[in-house]
Amino acid sequence: MMNTADKKTTVLAFTGKGGVGKTSLSAAAVRLLSEAYPGKKILAIDADPAVGLATALGVDVDFTVDDIRKSFVKTAESGNTSAAVELLGEAKYQMFDALKETGNVSFLAIGRPEGAGCYCKVNAYLKEIISMIAGNFDYVVIDGEAGIEQVNRRVMEKVTHLILVSDASKKGLQVTRTILTVAGEMVMFDKAGLIINRLPDISVADRLDTAGLEILALIPDDPGLAMNDIAGDSIYSLPGSSAVIQGAKHALKKLNLIGDV
């Protein structure tokens, strides 16, 4: 077994406006990485409150990080005070209950964001444990909320690859620029790139203002994916030739994360 300090974990975060296909692309990336590297450990983190990545990967979620947060708050409210070392131990203990392991892919759902009240200390403990767990994996794929700052606040401080996802809409591309600006100010990534998804026609790509971002993939609208989603099937049901799988593969190749598989 390798000490986590020796391990360099590659962390990919998919972010962008809602409804642009982040979840399907995150799931596709998990599938491609697990197929390309059967001996490597991959962690999929669903940081979207809707917990759609679980469905996309065919995972049943019964316990999320938010459930852990609630149990901490409930314990604190009942007057039970614990030392930091106990809280970290507890967060670690419960995080393993939330971690779903299937083959070389593990899954962790963050769940809904916290409600009213300041739970900064609890969030700090949970984030610490997520980072600790993530350090044991070779690849971490995060299906993010709209902005990177939520990923930063609720999941982990820094990602290695920030993958912005947009459709062809002006609003979608505007959101990606905002995310990139915020992420850049906070120095939270090593590499960034853009995937334009659900293009009605690939030829419109030339007319899009991508603000100089590297285009990782242009993905046409995929009726097969829509049917898959309607049926509630996982990404593993899609043929390898489907547009979303091919697009994700193209993006991962451009980022040198996979070779010709």
Partner 1 sequence: MKLYDECFEGVGEILSQYSVKSFEAQKYSHWESNDKNQIIFQSDTAYELGGGTLPALSSIALTDREDFVTRDEILLIGKDLGEIKGDSPFARIALLNVNEDEMGTGEKLYQTIRKIEYARYHIHPEGYMMRISAFTHREAARVGKDAVKKGLSFGHIGRFFIDEYKKNPQVKAVKLLFVTDPGFPYDKLEAIMKKSESITTALDHIMKDIRMDCQTCSLKTVCDEVEALCEKDK
Helices (H), 37-119: 52-57, 65-77, 84-98
Counting residues that bind partner 1 (by CB under 8 A) gives 28
- Which C-beta is closer to partner 1: that of 95 or that of 148? 95
Contact pattern from residue 115 through residue 154 relative to partner 1, giving x for each residue in contact according to CB under 8 A and a dash for the rest: -----------------xx-xx------------------
The verdict on 214 binding partner 1 (CB under 8 A) reads: no
Residues 103, 117, 239, 259: which binds partner 1 (CB under 8 A)?
Answer: 103
Stretch that binds partner 1, among 29-37, 86-94, 206-214, 250-258 (CB under 8 A): 86-94
What backbone torsions phi and psi does residue 11 show, to the nearest 5 degrees?
A: -115, 115
- Which C-beta is closer to partner 1: that of 92 or that of 112? 92
Please say whether the beta carbons of 195 and 164 come within 8 A.
yes
Smallest distance, partner 1 to C-beta of residue 161, A: 22
- Which C-beta is closer to partner 1: that of 104 or that of 234? 104
Q: What is the 8-class DSSP label of residue 6?
A: G
The secondary element (H helix, E strand) that includes residue 149 is helix 148-154
The verdict on 5 binding partner 1 (CB under 8 A) reads: yes
What is the helix, strand, coil percentage profile of the chain, to 5?
45, 20, 35
Stretch 45-74 residues interacting with partner 1 (CB under 8 A): 71
Longest CA pairwise span in the chain (Å): 62
Residues 93, 157, 170, 184: which binds partner 1 (CB under 8 A)?
Answer: 93
Helix (H, G, I), strand (E, B) or coil at 3: coil
| Angle at the Cα of 18 from the Cα atoms of 244 and 15, rounded to 5 degrees | 70
Total number of residues shown for the chain: 261
What backbone torsions phi and psi does residue 46 show, to the nearest 5 degrees?
A: -95, 100
Residues 10, 106, 152, 160: which binds partner 1 (CB under 8 A)?
Answer: 106
The verdict on 187 binding partner 1 (CB under 8 A) reads: no
Task: Give bridge partners of residue 196 from the DSSP assignment.
Answer: 166, 218
Stretch that binds partner 1, among 101-109, 113-121, 139-147, 156-164 (CB under 8 A): 101-109
The verdict on 157 binding partner 1 (CB under 8 A) reads: no
Please say whether the beta carbons of 149 and 175 come within 8 A.
no
Kindly list the residues in this chain that would bind partner 1 in the complex (CB under 8 A): 1, 3-5, 41, 71, 75, 80, 82-83, 85-90, 92-94, 96, 101, 103-104, 106, 132-133, 135-136
